[in-house]
Structure 1
Amino acid sequence: MIRTPVIVGVGEITHREKDPALGLEPLVLMAQALRAAATDAGIAATAVDSLDVVCEHSWPYDDVCGRLSAWLEMMPRHRAYAPAGGESPVRLIHEAALRIARGESDVAVVVGAEAGHTVAAARKVRLALPWTPRDPNARLLKGSDLCHPVAVAHGVTTPTTVYPFYENATLAAWGQTPREAMADAAALWSRCSEVAEQNPHAWSRQRFSPDDVATPSDRNRLIAWPYTLRQVANPLVNMGAAVLLTHAAHARALGIPEHRMVPVLGGARANEARDFLARPDYRGSTAQDAVLSALMERAGPFDLQELYSCFPVVPKMARRTLRLDPAAPTTATGGLSFFGAPLNNYMTHAAAALVRALRERPGQRALLYGQGEYVTKHHALVLGRGTPFLDDEPAAQQAADATRGPAPDLVLDHVGDAVLETFTVVYDRDGHPEAGVVIALTPGGQRLMARVPPDDSATLATLTGLDRSPVGRRGRTAPAPDSLLRWTFEP
């Protein structure tokens, strides 16, 4: 018997309470979202035999799967807590679908939640939250765990400081001026805000014009060139989401109408090197290209898509691989800046939004594409009507590896000429430059990282000029007292 996995229930909780004393802990948000998904499906939560919990950051527990199962009186045979990664909900839904197809599960749930807003507000007023105790041994993944020590020394180990390297490299590769690329990103993000405005689960339901997005101001400070605050993900939210799956025959036996079943047709996955300085270049991602191209070939084109949106460069790269019109919708959810960024769990909300959209559009297909770490982990699924291709072969990874060139060797002590490969400028909370950080190539093809101090206004002005990208320009490195290289442009 063919067991076609279908999503039959979705649930979302957005708790906008500003008073931290009244905030709900992540475990409560998970339970509420899971109950909502079960109600949406018309299936009792106690029927769940497979439970995957998305890695939670704001208040980590010692046994979240066990605690959640006990709260909801579930006895799932499969219980797993996922490693961190923005793509992980997509992977978990894919893996749950594969278990259902193999006959290892009948009712599976993927659930996650964050209470970042409440935790931050409580910390600010020194309020001890009366929640389930945190795991005292929990160790949360940090940027310094993922990055080369030279990147740590330069202070570029957070998503807000790493993704600009891709933004500035891709715009030059695509032949855009910085001004053109910034206008493109601002228009894209403005459209995301329009979607969030219409989404009742969004944290911010305010529409922003392209100028609102791109123009620095007191409420929209520069973060890392060229991104402003409104172009980066907002993790200070209280949100939970759950997706419930079964197989079509079981759903029919339970009386679930066909139009409420959203089939999971198949997916693809691939990774880049975890250390971003160990990649061939920053003009794209072979892993992203391989994943999206594989699904385009198997099931495209798509009627709807959710393209991961932590920073504008991600959907801008993805839409080129998918051959989408620049004005094509890239989100059904609203994006991580406006809908909100419950850290690893955004794509669970995105899956819920696509399921609702597909229920209203019988016969259509949607692409759910997530990304983890720093353009590192890529996973995508096809949802909707069509021919299933539920395999988990590593074909996309093999394709990415076959097309990926060698990464330049990294040098730490080069002094002399080099060519700018990419860069960013990091700003303080008052909008003043803290430093420029460049990645460059030596005449021998080796890679280096160097710094521009905040008092070198001429070099910073060249980096942030709007009418000409500095990528490809020659410069020089010299040693500095802090043992980091200093960068200046040739006259």
Structure 2
Amino acid sequence: MDDARIPVLIGAGEVVDRPAEPRLALEPAALMAEALRRAATDAGAPDLLAALDSLDIVNSVSWPYADLPAALAARLGQAPRRLVYGPVGGESPVRFLHEAALRIARGESEVSAVVGGEATHAVAQARKAGIALPWTEPDPNWRRTRGRDYLHPLAVRLGVADPVTVYPFYENAVEAHLGQSPAEGQAESAALWSAFSGVAARNPAAWLKREYSPAEIGTPSASNRPIAYPYTKLQVANPMVNQGGALLLTSLARARAAGVPEERMVFLWGGAAAVEPRDYLNRDHYHEAHAQNAVLDGCARIAEAEGAGFSICELYSCFPCVPKMAARRLGLPSGMAPTTTGGLTFFGAPLNNYMTHAAAAMLRALRARPGEAALLYGQGEFVTKHHAVVLARRPARAALAESYSVQAEADSRRGAVPAFTEAAEGPATVETFTVLYDREGAPEHGVTILRLADGRRGLARVPTAEAIALLTRPDQTPIGRPGLATLAADGVPEWRPA
């Protein structure tokens, strides 16, 4: 293979910014610029940043820029000929890394980078204190895309249109499908998250550098309030961070010419991507994601063809169900912490940019363990968008494959999707569920996804304390429980157990 067409990841830079007061904090564009400089320094080739010809910017949410690419270019003092601002999605850094490698393999780019940054913590502090931040002039017309913009109106009305309230549908369905009691499933989640926190505690770029015990994570308390059953605060992604991350790629030939030490280079063997239907109510079930399975299977085939397995993994960790499903699909050993970063609760969740930091941690892990292969798996929206890549310290035997979609494979596995009705009435069983809590930890109402007697799917509120107690029993899942759906006075379906 031509060394000028072999892409290599050569550097990663990270910034964690915790000033004494918010006016001293770096804005997202400044975090990004500093992360890029650190990535070039990490590669041992700081001059390569001046040769940057392709830059992908991960979608940033914490500050309303009118033109973020221009703001970043101004701070860098240069504008690469390809400067692209990406869409929302937690998987997007993995996709940008993969596509940057493909551009190098095609000869379209010589030096590429992926960068992102968020300063949500500083923005929240400033808002709370009534302080104006001395940052780039905000765009008054900026608007963030949210799930409520494209999910079913009834889901929005019932409060299940944000990740923290939707992922519990999967969490509870996975437990029931595995035959676990709720207590068993929650104990597994708490132990897994405790292991993630231990990794974050040893990561210098992490936001929370403390190891938490399973009991601290799984037990509701004043500092660990329940948010959406079965999740407590210490089981959900933490976006209140100021963090920036960047990755630097080039060709093997250019890296050698720039004097990048061979032991600092990591090669991309390939990857896979697929999506689920965007509205989660249009999926066949909730105990697995066909797109996730197809992506992980595709990456496992890549590793197998190279005679390798995944002893190093970063499985996306916005909520416990994601790495739990993925680890089982991959057949990872029980007790393995599938992260080199620390997870979105403890390392921090700079919104769409966590996987840039995960790639940085993976680069360090592979430099320390040169004989192994690694899986970097990201996810976006509501178990919707999936992208993973396989990385190693040696080149693959074959050239990087141009096509990476496994969408046809995912779609072929999908079963019939039940028709959805807004006005669910009559006998109905619980397909999956959650309970939403207020900021004091008191239950507000439950929400069930139902299956009606004729096979249709519905969505219903669970208003009574007795029914909510049934949903949250530690010894027995309510999934499959029969009941009755009726329309309340406000036109919203309500479910009560039979």
Q: Give the TM-score normalised by the residue count of structure 1.
A: 0.98
Quick one: which of 183, 189, 194 aligns to 2:187? 183
Quick one: which of 477, 487, 490 aligns to 1:479? 487
Between the aligned partners of 2:242 and 2:124, the Cα distance in structure 1 is 11
1:205 shift after superposition: 0.4
Between the aligned partners of 1:243 and 1:409, the Cα distance in structure 2 is 44
Tell me if 1:29 matches 2:35. no
Between the aligned partners of 2:260 and 2:201, the Cα distance in structure 1 is 31
Which SS does the other structure have where 2:310 is aligned? coil
1:162 shift after superposition: 0.1
Tell me if 1:230 matches 2:234. yes
Q: Comparing 342-351 with 293-302, which one deviates more in the overlay?
A: 293-302
Which runs of 5 or more structure 1 residues have no equivalent in the other structure?
Answer: none
**Alignment check: 8 A CA contact 2:269 2:302 kept:** no
Q: Which residue of 2 aligns with 1:405?
A: 415
Backbone CA RMSD of aligned residues: 1.1
Which SS does the other structure have where 1:114 is aligned? strand
Q: Which residue of 1 aligns with 2:366?
A: 358
1:4 shift after superposition: 1.1
**Alignment check: 8 A CA contact 2:29 2:75 kept:** no
In the TM superposition, 1:289-304 aligns within 5 A as 289-300=293-304, 301-304=309-312
**Alignment check: 8 A CA contact 2:147 2:162 kept:** yes
Quick one: which of 138, 143, 148 aligns to 1:139? 143
Q: What is the count of residue pairs matched by the alignment?
A: 488
Between the aligned partners of 1:75 and 1:13, the Cα distance in structure 2 is 22
1:395 shift after superposition: 4.3
Which SS does the other structure have where 1:297 is aligned? helix
Quick one: which of 103, 107, 119 aligns to 2:107? 103
1:285 shift after superposition: 0.1
**Alignment check: 8 A CA contact 2:120 2:240 kept:** yes
Tell me if 1:329 matches 2:337. yes
Between the aligned partners of 1:54 and 1:364, the Cα distance in structure 2 is 28
Between the aligned partners of 1:158 and 1:39, the Cα distance in structure 2 is 38
Structure-2 change in CA distance of 1:32 and 1:118 (3 Å): same
Quick one: which of 29, 41, 52 aligns to 1:39? 41
Between the aligned partners of 2:20 and 2:287, the Cα distance in structure 1 is 41
Between the aligned partners of 2:331 and 2:399, the Cα distance in structure 1 is 22
Deviation per residue, 1:374-406 (Å, 9 max, x gap): 000000011113435522425411100111112
1:18 shift after superposition: 4.3
Runs of 4+ with deviation above 4 angstroms = none
The one-letter amino acid of 2:124's match is A
The one-letter amino acid of 2:29's match is L
Between the aligned partners of 2:326 and 2:151, the Cα distance in structure 1 is 24
Among all aligned residue pairs of Structure 1 and Structure 2, give the percentage whose two residues are the same amino acid. 55
Between the aligned partners of 2:473 and 2:151, the Cα distance in structure 1 is 28
Which runs of 5 or more structure 2 residues have no equivalent in the other structure?
Answer: none
Q: Which residue of 2 aligns with 1:212?
A: 216
Structure-2 change in CA distance of 1:392 and 1:60 (3 Å): farther
Q: Comparing 463-472 with 298-307, which one deviates more in the overlay?
A: 298-307
Which SS does the other structure have where 2:461 is aligned? strand
**Alignment check: 8 A CA contact 1:46 1:73 kept:** no
Q: Comparing 134-143 with 480-489, which one deviates more in the overlay?
A: 134-143
Which SS does the other structure have where 2:470 is aligned? helix
1:58 shift after superposition: 0.3
Q: Which residue of 1 aligns with 2:289?
A: 285
1:342 shift after superposition: 0.3
Which SS does the other structure have where 2:208 is aligned? coil
Structure-2 change in CA distance of 1:139 and 1:392 (3 Å): farther
**Alignment check: 8 A CA contact 1:10 1:243 kept:** yes
Which SS does the other structure have where 2:434 is aligned? strand
Between the aligned partners of 2:482 and 2:183, the Cα distance in structure 1 is 21
Between the aligned partners of 1:255 and 1:140, the Cα distance in structure 2 is 42
Quick one: which of 380, 385, 390 aligns to 1:382? 390
The one-letter amino acid of 2:27's match is E
Between the aligned partners of 1:423 and 1:18, the Cα distance in structure 2 is 42
**Alignment check: 8 A CA contact 1:243 1:352 kept:** yes
In the TM superposition, 1:413-424 aligns within 5 A as 413-424=423-434
Structure-2 change in CA distance of 1:18 and 1:446 (3 Å): farther
The one-letter amino acid of 1:486's match is E
Q: Comparing 420-429 with 405-414, which one deviates more in the overlay?
A: 405-414
Q: Which residue of 2 aligns with 1:445?
A: 455
Between the aligned partners of 1:68 and 1:395, the Cα distance in structure 2 is 31
1:308 shift after superposition: 0.2
The one-letter amino acid of 1:170's match is V
**Alignment check: 8 A CA contact 1:267 1:390 kept:** no
Q: Which residue of 2 aligns with 1:428?
A: 438
